[in-house]
Amino acid sequence: MATSKARGTRTGNSGEGGEIHQTAAAPDERITTNHGVPISDNQNSLKAGRRGPTLLEDFVLREKIQHFDHERIPERIVHARGSAAHGFFELTDSLAEFTRAKILTEIGVKTELFTRFSTVAGGAGSVDTPRDVRGFAVKFYTNEGNWDLVGNNIPVFFIQDAIKFPDLIHAVKMEADRGYPQAASAHDTFWDFIGLMPESTHMIMWAMSDRTIPRSLRMIEGFGVNTFRLLNDKDEATLVKFHWRPKLGTQSTCWDEAVKIAGADPDYHRRDLHEAIAAGNFPEWEFGVQLLSQKQADALPFDILDATKVIPEELVPIRFIGRMVLNRNPDNFFAETEQVAFLPTNMPPGIDVSEDPLLQGRLFSYQDTQLSRLGTVNFHQIPVNRAKGCPFQNMQRDGQMQTQVFKGRANYEPNSLSEAGEDGGPREDPAGGFRTFTLPMEEAKVRLRSESFADHYSHARLFFQSQTEIEQAHIASAFVFELSKVSLEHVRLRVLSNLLNVDETLARRVADGMNMDLPKASAPAVAPQDMKASPALRIVGKYPVTLKGRSVGILVSDGADGAVIDAVKKAVEAEGASVKIVAPKIGGVALKGGARLKADGQLAGTPSVMFDAVAIVVSTEGCAALMKEGAAIDFAKDAFGHLKAIGFSPEAKPLLDKAGVVADAGVVSLDNKASLFLEPARTRQWAREPKVRTLA
């Protein structure tokens, strides 16, 4: 009987290309469809040629994804934990040369939109701040129909072919026998899958970076992930990647900080987004495109149909052509945020898909999962999903929860009722309607990957070597944390063997962090190549040094000097940041002179992890009382440990000493001038990090 150590995998799986021969599996070992048909290839969808589009006849793909889409009712299978807002898109630079889509050609027109951010792995009741990819989905209500740009805050993905998506999510979700962990990738099944799927290596580098522990949803980038096409009036095609870049800069938390935020406020990101919009501090993103002709794409040393690859900005610059502003919170969470249904198939004329096999599967999956989750083919009539910029009309009728009252006899097309003076209904529009790009196809239908998809390590190496030393240390430490939660030693060893193909120093740091010997490097299908570093892939040193959009907490006590508090508050708010007063009790404090100061938060429930910088303004008596409170000591200790600026009145010095706060450029006395606190408060004190924690 033929057996394999890694059941369900093949030597060189994940798209090295070429024929792969295996010994036949015994009947009780082979994987089949739900109806018992043995499956010869569970790694690749059926395509028209190696780089061709996925075929509708692929019943293996459809059954697998359709079953996956219907596994949870009614919560989303993935991206269940979401927050959203209304806003608008405004075009500032026309792409009329490349597309006929009016939303990308009519400068100055403001198009209404709805944007939903989400975590991937956790359920609807999970926390906001786990280490996880963030969904970034935008529904544009254009005057040519809805356009749903459904992406993530990371430009690449774990897999190359949609047929592997159910396996990926099954691996990262709660383990099937025990129902935990929730919203966490640090467990056996996830890393077992990652180690067996070399194509996931690039994405896992991003997942272990600070990108997956964002400071705020207002401070994440967004990417369309897949490659799309733009079509102009002549049906000439241009390949395109879509980008969202936050005006506040891409900013993240420290890992220890993210963990503690989860306990202090599970709704941290949701609250942050809602409060910013309610206060009139509207989040804004620039919208950009990377444009390539087919000839330019073919000249690249990688395949842009491969969703595990990124196009470095240094090779193809981003052209920023518009902006998105979120300016209104939902009126009802369920009716809007929960019921919004995004479909990659929603595209106005002038925008089209590519043959990316991950995208090809998404074109089917999203429609199917909405049918399951919302329970009707008429989910497009829910207000948040309804086309607003133009009427929607066709011959589709009835169905569960039909809300429209159709008149007339014509519910089929073509018809000739108009010749008898009756309403014949809408007709197709060959000139102005959606037209698919004409793609010549002469290849055999196959279950194979293109050889151009076979390099799984070069882009992972590019990402790691493009990071600053700070970010590289964070990535190595994240691997150590995650893999230390893995109980199966062979899984840890396999991941280390793959990391050796990315960067030997990284692999050694991770191995040392677990006190393990390095194994031999795994054999890559294609030898990884060194690419020129891309500084655009960094976070540190790239975001604006500003307090705008951030939050500062001021810890106060009875007898504190109100003038100092007021000076700090005014200086911080003048920079565009918000201020919250934290007191031992929610009723506030009596300041020096007897005036009352209201509190925005109580000390035990409003720790320093909630803020980007802190100030401690107390009286001598108040400091003595706070030194008996563990929450007060942790307030200062965590702020220092999370590399935040700390402003303090002289009376607070004993509390800082007890918390282990050591003077540096980010620890500023407020005795002189409150504005001196602003400079270090605008950024994290990265030079402090080696003194407060051990990194891999």
169's enclosing H/E stretch is helix 165-172
**Burial degree of 113 (CB within 10 A; 0-12, 13-18, 19+):** buried
Contact of 2 with 28, CB cutoff 8 Å: no
Cβ atoms within 10 Å of 423's Cβ, excluding its own: 12
Spatial distance between the Cα atoms of 540 and 463, rounded to a whole number of angstroms: 14
Q: Give all strands (DSSP E) within 317-451, no chain letters.
A: 319-328, 351-353, 445-446
Spatial distance between the Cα atoms of 174 and 130, rounded to a whole number of angstroms: 14
Biggest CA pair distance of the chain: 93
CA atoms within 13 A on the CB side of 357: 33
| Token code pair at residue 507 | 């692999």
Encode 350-383: b = buried (16+ Cβ within 10 Å), e = exposed. Answer: bbbbbbbbbbbbbebbbbbbbbbbbeebbbbbbe
Q: Give all strands (DSSP E) within 120-180, no chain letters.
A: 134-142, 145-152
Residues with Cβ within 8 Å of 402's Cβ and at least 6 positions away in sequence, in order, are 378, 381
Backbone angles phi, psi at 142, to 5 degrees: -80, 165
Backbone angles phi, psi at 650, to 5 degrees: -55, -30
Spatial distance between the Cα atoms of 343 and 125, rounded to a whole number of angstroms: 24
Active site residues: 79, 152
Is 181 strand, coil or helix? Answer: coil
**Burial degree of 136 (CB within 10 A; 0-12, 13-18, 19+):** buried
Contact of 552 with 615, CB cutoff 8 Å: yes
